[in-house]
Amino acid sequence: MDSLAISPLDGRYGKRLQHLGLYFSEYALMRMRVIVELRYIKALDKSGLFDKLTVSELTAIDDMIESFSEKDYDKIKEIEAKINHDVKSCEVFLRENLPLINKNMIHFALTSEDVNNLSYSLMLLDFWKKEQLPQLSELLSLLAHVTKHWKSIPFPARTHGQMASPTTAGKEFAVYLSRLYEQFSKLKDFRFKGKLNGATGNFSAMLSAFPAYDWVSFSRDFISNLGLEPNIATTQIESHDSWLDYFAIIRHINTIILDMNRDIWLYLTLGYLTLEADKGAVGSSTMPHKINPINFENSEGNLQVSNALLNAFEEKLGQSRLQRDLSDSTVTRNIGTALAHSYLAIQETFKGMKRLTVNEGYCKNELDSYPELLAEPIQTILRREGFDDPYNLMKELTRGKKIGKQELEEFIDSLEIQESVKEELKKITVIGYIGNAPDICDLVLKEVELLL
């Protein structure tokens, strides 16, 4: 029952995340173990080391790969309840249910970690390809849309929380688009590693049976054909370093989105952005007027949980006592939890972004009320003209003070500079002082379009 679920991923958010069970559940792990074992048998068959499998045997293998079911999973769990070993239970299941003449080809010369590391990496590969990349691509497309349509809208900027030289709404989101694009590029090119080399990583059992056979090449080919990169030099376990590299990219993506969520939250608080009301929703049990930035807050919390777990993986999974210990096993089972929290967070950010608009009139009025922001371009142009210490001159006029447009014009008129320069200074407006923000947006969009 959802109401008794310990994790909100399975309870409160269960319907939205149920499909991720295809990649990270106990069922998914058992299924992938069986698939790895079956594909290994087929690879052994091509090696010529055993009598060739019959057509009916190969058909039975392919059928089991395609049709592994809940019923099969239940059988494996019944076996595990008796022998208390998950991978061995898969082997026993195959011995009992796969019609092979030579049952000794099943799990031949393998250690459990050969099966486990490949299974987990294949599960991650499936999630990466079918869920993660499409979701992030969708978020990037939405950010690109916002960047394009808001690229010329003047927008107040703040440094240290204080009013600063203006920007545009599109440029602010172009920064996040560019940052996420860089990490997405790394993620898109990422390759998971795997190992298949026996109990202490030396192919010892394999070589004891067939000493003249090139097991290193066999291992490389088998792992490559699974869509993974071979890791030949390992202990009993695959080092998990490629997982940690992958988690580092995800953690970085999480952090960028977290940063964006918080900025959006602040811009909403300042009135620069607004949220479209969700009809039927309630923002407070007592204050009817409220439209809460709940999507961005929900995303923030889930990203923090995800990163906390990813940091824990960094501390744990890169270490193993001697050849191996099992403390990594229970930690590894939480990989799906970390990635599901990230996936949920990105869903929430996406939902919030679709309700977001720029409060354009408010932004322009805000900028108009801060003519002192022109202290920067005025002192810069005066520097160009060789004026003596223009920075301190403008500091005396504006720092910690509110000045009006007329006062600023009177100050410009009092300067001992050419009339043409005075006119140049008077033509500068706060709203127009956005530099090449629109062009930067276009540059980012051009780069991103190459990837999406």
Active site (catalytic) residues: 160, 284
> 117: helix, coil or strand?
helix
Beta strand 193-194 with 229-230 is parallel
CA distance 174 to 436: 13
Q: How many CB atoms lie within 10 A of CB 194?
A: 26
Tokens 């060739």: give the residue: 52
Q: DSSP for 346-412?
A: HHHHHHHHHTEEE-HHHHHHHHHT-GGGGHHHHHHHHHHTT-SSHHHHHHHHHTT----HHHHHHHH
Question: Whole-angstrom Cα distance, residue 17 to residue 134?
Answer: 15
Separation between Cα atoms, residue 428 and residue 435, nearest integer Å: 11
Which residue type, as a one-letter code, is found at position 243?
W
Structure tokens at 383: 């520097």
Q: Which regions of 235-347 does DSSP assign to beta strands (E)?
A: 273-275
Distance of CA 325 to the CA centre of its chain: 29
The alpha carbons of the chain give a radius of gyration, in whole angstroms, of: 30
Alpha helices of 50-196 — where are they, by DSSP H?
Answer: 55-67, 70-83, 86-97, 112-127, 133-149, 169-188
Alpha carbon separation from 246 to 125, 186, 193, 359 (Å, rounded): 11, 9, 11, 38
Residue 18 is given by DSSP the state G
Packing angle of the helix pair 112-127, 241-270 (nearest 10 deg): 30
CA distance 92 to 77: 11
On the CB side of 233, CA atoms within 13 Å amount to 0
Angle at 344 between CA 338 and CA 346, to 5 degrees: 105
Half-sphere exposure of 21 (CA within 13 A, CB side): 12
